[in-house]
Structure 1
């Protein structure tokens, strides 16, 4: 009997564990904070001159008549940070194509909240410091997404994925507006020739997407040329990075592409050589959208290198002597603090309230008003974008220093206000979670549910499925691998969750399975439906029933029976009550599984839930 290979005893080494920790949202936030503290300590140490001289180091790149002459500080802010904004653009495009911005009712509330959350802070800053330094209003419009999500993981509810999605969507709007402001308001004198070349690069990126170019190379070349053109044009390249990311297409993975990659790997398995290996790599790449591949390749370098280096280059301000007192005596500092801490909180809450009152949409399931207040408070962390605009907005060194201190103070204050808001929401209003439910509701009933395997097995896998879903367990072979691994120690239960908006035949296919169940042939029909996912019209279903030897007259009558339709809807409602929003959704021993659902991962998750494994891990 073949088993899914699972290395139960293998544990990663210390270096790998540290790297995995830093890649998490909490780890990224701590790394960013550490880089900022190192910069502050270095800039206020006896060797502070080395800090200043490091970032003033000139770096010149020449290619013929083309010349890029900037100091190291500008290479970080105008070069490395473009990668950061490019990744932000990739994330926005993913959200528009596949995520929370895809549906109108999901995107309008954070859209309004994010817009008001930009306008109110700017107005508050101008009211406080507009008479002294009006050019600094842009410092308070942005939110540091990485820092926001990292602090949320530290001080927010233990389960806050739905709130995270809401805040991520909101910060997408925030970042887009902030980058637009940088590109339009804080750019140098614009030169027409390079600007025209930048526009041509954007057209090339659009054409690559329209022609469904799947190789990442052409996109990377176009983005590099676009960056160089915007630098030469005098437009801040952050805008170019964001626009470039928006133009890289994102799409859901198609089952046919996955099957093609599988067939290529089979060729390599039978005849392993370098040519076959290269073909497999290309086939795997083609099965995933270029947006997702670039995002996956750049996400870790951005969080582990780009943003910490930016913090190291920009957070080092000399606070010795009376510099700190002068900063706190500056109206610029208080304008920045008021704009970020108060403006973001008030603006986002006001925008959310207005959108809900206008019935433009609703809050994500599981997210209460207290959690929105906590998330709005954390949005006052404007570290990365704010420090970038400080560098662009102020010519006066004292004002720039006061604004930088204000950004750091606002970061601490917003974190504390957010922590307090989440605590009040938990204690006063009972908002212990800001996520979807995770418990299977109702529990498995062997008299009602469709149970495959040993009814008394210690391991239970419940799958909410859609017969047109190309990635459900029967379609991918996941269940067969689980059964081969566990044998009679596992039982498999299926419930219906037809996604009728994307799979129009899913509901009637579920009815056909239930009609076959009335004649004792549910699992046979289940297998036939998955084997013929492209042919699920009514006549196809009747043909499958005939092939299985079912009584067609009774089958037709059962298809029209309202009780069967109610059974399918009841399954779908139970899935919603347990947090299932798509297929496949797996519940392992009564708890909704989150993350990859390949057989190896499910086996590891099931075995990790046993008492002996849990005890061994604790020891």
Structure 2
């Protein structure tokens, strides 16, 4: 589910960028007057004497964006029950980070605007734009591992929920009690249908639309209803019975293909997956590729002439928004990450290091969708609204640039995980201190003329990224063998040592390399329960003879320290430290040089 989300959100960033550019070009073209005129075109429904009408911008902001927040509600429901948020230890850190990433930007904004005409805009710089952030992370590429994307997605979900609550509490107009009571009754009716397990789509569509109209009329922003309905959608893990029935239906179709069997197989397969997941699959592309870009087209158009830019350069609103997104998000998320880790309230997903976390904190200052949304609610004055939008554009661009620089600096330090206390002042040895022996874990032919010795850590993100590179090198070079030696960095990666122990337990059964591959393929999931699950799959007793396995790992660590290993991954090619980049082209070039050497 996470990987599908990443692909959709990151892929839609280009569409969102195009929509933003079109809005800016349109608003600043000779036809700029038509931009506002078009989005103020009224459109509505009439039922006899009853009339319901909004202009196009409000249909987008109040209508289509309700679907966007409905998808967020679906994500929240799924992640809490089956996904990333079900492990409370993994929620604590990004949740506190999200809270810090809202408090500090709001505080910076209010320092500049408290008591002034722009004071109501303190909510503008608090929200992170998930689509843009994931798009930037896709551009960052290998410098950003999957655990950081998972961490930022969790942070963004918490961020979105808090932003919706803030919109409901602080950006709501006068309340209409009759409409509010009607909305409450309709919501109760939907909850009752869910409780009775009545799954008739037309009933939910009719009640949902009526609830949206009632909420809009009540004065509460209808996006709150979007996320509430998303949370109510039922989600469950496929039961064994449903999987069995689906499998039988598919088997029946393969044996006797027919329209009836195809329909039955389709029905059984659909019922095996929860409504929540099916809706996410259907609505995510619409939300990411249509709704959010249309929202950007309707709201990002702002005049960027000399007069507007001069006003923005000195406007506390523009400066407050930009500073809140750039500095506030970075400081707030960094402190919000450090505090729960320091107090041991939670853990990070898998194998993140501070360089990556700081880069994630920086790009989280990209605020667009919800920021523009709150601008429309906070500022009735078009001039102030334009200044706030310029602040959003400037702050988001600067945050993206800062994130790129932080990721680049973290990567250029060598692509190696190393705790600060491991940085030596002395000159490191160049030669492998302990030659490859019969007790080593070797993959490849025993008589291979070229040997790669890797000192690795199963929780290290750079080791995880190197893993497929080395696999491909072995596949293309049958005269190369790989030796793996343990070097768990306990201060950075608390799950690395238990993972190494389980790998040694697998080695006792002759299954080291199978476990090695499983651990690297599941780096984000290395809890004791996860390790025991992997061991059970390979028929390995994970915690038998732990003292002997710890001693075996200690021998690898000692040989690594004597060889000058201070971080992971560290490679030795034919006993000599490899100092190049950890990519396939660079390592292949070093192997070719070894072949040519006498």
List per-residue Cα deviations over 1:29-73 (Å, max 9, x = no partner): 121111111110111111223222211111011345654210001
Show structure 2 runs of 5+ residues with no match: 418-459, 472-482, 486-502, 520-524, 554-587, 589-598
8 Å contact kept, 2:165–2:224: yes
Summarize the Cα distance change of 1:27–1:382 in structure 2 as closer, same or farther, 3 Å threshold: same
Paired residues of 1:155 and 1:422 also in contact (CA < 8 A): yes
Cα deviations by residue, 1:503-524 (Å, 9 ceiling, x for unpaired): 99x799779x569xxxxxxxxx
Would the alpha carbon gap of residues 51 and 508 (structure 1) be closer, same or farther in structure 2, given more than 3 Å must change?
A: closer
TM-score, normalization by structure 1: 0.68
CA distance in 2, matches of 1:325, 1:59: 36
251-260 vs 239-248, greater mean Cα deviation: 251-260
Report the counterpart of residue 266 of structure 2 in structure 1: 281
Task: Determine the structure 1 residue equivalent to 2:157.
Answer: 172
Per-residue Cα deviation, 1:512-569 (whole angstroms, up to 9, x for no partner): x569xxxxxxxxxxxxxxxxxxxxxxxxxxxxxxxxxxxxxxxxxxx9x9459999xx
Q: 1:102 to 1:401 in 2, by over 3 A?
A: same
1:111 equivalent among 95, 108, 111: 95
The secondary structure found in structure 1 opposite 2:359 is helix
What is the correspondence of 1:33-112 to structure 2 with a 5 Å cutoff?
Answer: 33-63=17-47, 67-112=51-96
- Structure 2 residue corresponding to 1:373, chosen from 341, 351, 358: 358
Shift of 1:410: 0.8
**Structure 1 residues 51, 100: CA separation in 2 closer, same or farther (over 3 Å shift)?**
same
Deviations 1:70-101 (A, max 9, x none): 00011011111111111111111111112221
Q: Is the 8 A contact 2:237 2:274 kept in 1?
A: yes
Which consecutive residues of structure 1, in runs of 5 or more, have no partner in the other structure? 1-19, 466-496, 516-558, 572-610, 612-619
Measure, in 1, the Cα distance between the counterparts of 2:534 and 2:409.
44
CA distance in 1, matches of 2:54, 2:462: 46
Kindly report which structure 2 residues correspond to 1:119-134, keeping only aligned pairs within 5 A, or say none: 119-132=103-116, 133-134=118-119
Q: Deviations over 1:459-509 (max 9, x none)?
A: x998859xxxxxxxxxxxxxxxxxxxxxxxxxxxxxxx99985999x7997
User: Who is 1:389 aligned against?
Assistant: 374
Paired residues of 1:366 and 1:436 also in contact (CA < 8 A) = no
1:102-501 equivalences in 2 (<5 Å): 102-132=86-116, 133-155=118-140, 157-213=142-198, 218-428=203-413, 430=415, 437=464, 439=467, 464=518
Q: Is the 8 A contact 1:223 1:241 kept in 2?
A: no
What is the deviation of 1:216?
A: 5.2
Give, in angstroms, the shift of residue 210 of structure 1: 3.7
Secondary structure at the aligned position of 2:464 is classed as coil
User: Contact (CA 8 Å) 2:312, 2:319: kept in 1 or not?
Assistant: no
> Are residues 510 and 30 of structure 1, via their aligned partners in 2, closer, same or farther at CA, if it must alter by over 3 Å?
closer
Question: Do the aligned partners of residues 273 and 160 (structure 1) sit closer, same or farther apart at CA in structure 2, a change above 3 Å counting?
Answer: same
SS of 1:437's partner is helix
How far apart are residue 157 of structure 1 and its match?
Answer: 3.9
The range that moved more, 431-440 or 279-288, is 431-440
Contact 1:23 1:300 in 2 (8 A): no
Which has the higher mean CA deviation after the structures are superposed, 61-70 or 233-242? 61-70
Give, in angstroms, the shift of residue 289 of structure 1: 0.7
The question of whether the paired residues in 2 share the 8 Å contact of 1:148 and 1:378 is answered with yes
CA-CA distance at 1:156 after TM superposition? 5.5
The 3-state SS of whatever aligns with 1:367 is coil
Query: Is 1:30 equivalent to 2:57 in the alignment?
Result: no
Instruction: Verify the 8 A CA contact 1:125 1:335 in the aligned structure 2.
Output: yes
Distance 1:91-1:22 versus aligned 2 partners, 3 A rule: closer
Q: Is the 8 A contact 1:35 1:312 kept in 2?
A: yes
Contact 2:96 2:340 in 1 (8 A): yes
How far apart, in 2, do the equivalents of 1:302 and 1:499 lie?
A: 34
Pairwise CA RMSD? 3.9
Q: 1:318 to 1:282 in 2, by over 3 A?
A: same
Q: Is the 8 A contact 2:509 2:540 kept in 1?
A: no
SS in 2 for 1:253: coil
Q: Distance in 2 between matches of 1:509 and 1:217?
A: 46
